[in-house]
Amino acid sequence: MNVFVINSGSSSIKYQLISMPEEKVICSGMVDRIGLEGSRVEYRSFLKEEPVEFTRNMPVSDHSAGLKEVAKLLVDSEIGVITNPNQVEVVGHRVVHGGEKFASTQLISEEIKAKIKELFPLAPLHNPANYLGIEVAEHIFSKAKQVAVFDTAFHQTQPPVAFRMAIPNEFYEKHGIRAYGFHGTSHKYVSERARDYLGTKGNRIVSIHLGNGCSMAAIRDGKSIDTSMGFGPMNGLVMGTRAGDIDQSVIFHLVQELGYSLQDVFQILNKKSGMLGLTGFSDMRDIQKKYNEGEKEAKLAYHLYAYRIKKYIGSFAAVLNGLDAIIFTGGVGENDRLTRQLVCQGMDYLGIELDEEKNAGPKQPVQEIQSENSGVKLLVIPTNEELEIAKQSFQLLK
């Protein structure tokens, strides 16, 4: 079964064509800066011994134009991987917010699309783009079954003590205000990899997804029981441009005393805070360069970033009543050994002890970086949300 996976963002489309159940990636790529200057289409095919890579800088006015360009590349006589769009049997879509309506992967129908639209207010930056990707794919891959995989679904196993907020009940009962959690597709993928690797020794796991967006999940017996993100994807850890946890009174102070509008505050906390607000940079590679040069703002930011992660490890260890493994994943979690080093410092009380040499070692499918004396496995596992979407789509339809 050929599963075409679409991860549609507000100005980008990431995609992979995966043959299931072999889990063989046939091609992958992205359309970047949609509707903006400098837009481009990237494409890589893996049918030959050496990957074929193609990049075209071109105007991409909207998501429809971007996906149409990708469809042309898929069937291109020289670098294409199929002869007809109808050879795509399933299109798997990442949908960020499923609310309480969706606790599992869904075959998309008009009814499902209507429910996804109802959830726009809960994820205004993400769900509309995800929905647009569905509508465009229905037109281009008209013979394929369309499947929605929800980022929030993995966290629907959390108990009410984890997801309820201590505000009047009517806000939950009438308006669905509660913690939902995000990055569920990533947390599910890497935690299952860890459990396969560890066997029965992997029942209490903390998964740490660190990228531009960051979140953590406490996972017991393969099920999410708590997570750092909440009602929206701004809560919890310090992120690239998001503040993470913040005292609510700061928001009232910004509005009532400093004269900012609520929209101003939203932009500040979502787009201008986090590592960007602390250092002027949102990319950890830039910040690490400044850190190594001794810049005090970069040092504070790195330590604050790690400190917040350590606090969540402690709280999740309490919730899980112990730890078997900690997973680092995402672009930063997989590649930034300084972050892993700072997070693991001074955690011997919990049985966490890093091996510096292993931490600096080469990447592996599952990389152990703990010392021989560590009571907790420390694992670096590359995430693959697109493969997880393909797996869930295949399992739904096989």
What residue type is assigned to position 328 of the chain? F
Question: Which DSSP category does 165 fall into?
Answer: -
- Terminal Cα-to-Cα distance of the chain (whole angstroms): 9
CA 8/CA 31 separation, integer angstroms: 9
Q: Residue 204: in which H helix or E strand, if any?
A: strand 204-210
What sign results for the dihedral spanned by CA atoms 219, 306, 361, 351? negative
H, E, C per residue of 292-361 = HCCCHHHHHHHHHHHHHHHHHHHHHHHHHCCCCEEEEEHHHHHHCHHHHHHHHCCCHHHCCCECHHHHCC
- 227: nearest Cα among 248, 246, 204, 206: 206
- Could you write out the DSSP letters of every residue in 39-91? -EEEEEE-SSSSPEEEEEE----SHHHHHHHHHHHHT-TTT-S-SSGGG--EE
- Give the β-pairing of 106-107 and 367-368: unpaired
Give 3-state DSSP helix, strand, coil % of the chain, rounded to 5: 40, 20, 35
Are 352 and 322 within 8 A, CB to CB? no
CA 398/CA 17 separation, integer angstroms: 17
Helix (H, G, I), strand (E, B) or coil at 277: helix
Q: Which of 32, 62, 76, 151 is catalytic?
A: 151
Q: Does the annotation count 355 as an active-site position? A: no
- Both tokens of residue 192? 């299952």
For 253, residues 6+ apart whose C-beta sits below 8 A from its C-beta are none
CA 87/CA 108 separation, integer angstroms: 19
- 309: nearest Cα among 182, 240, 380, 207: 207
Which positions are annotated as active-site residues? Answer: 151
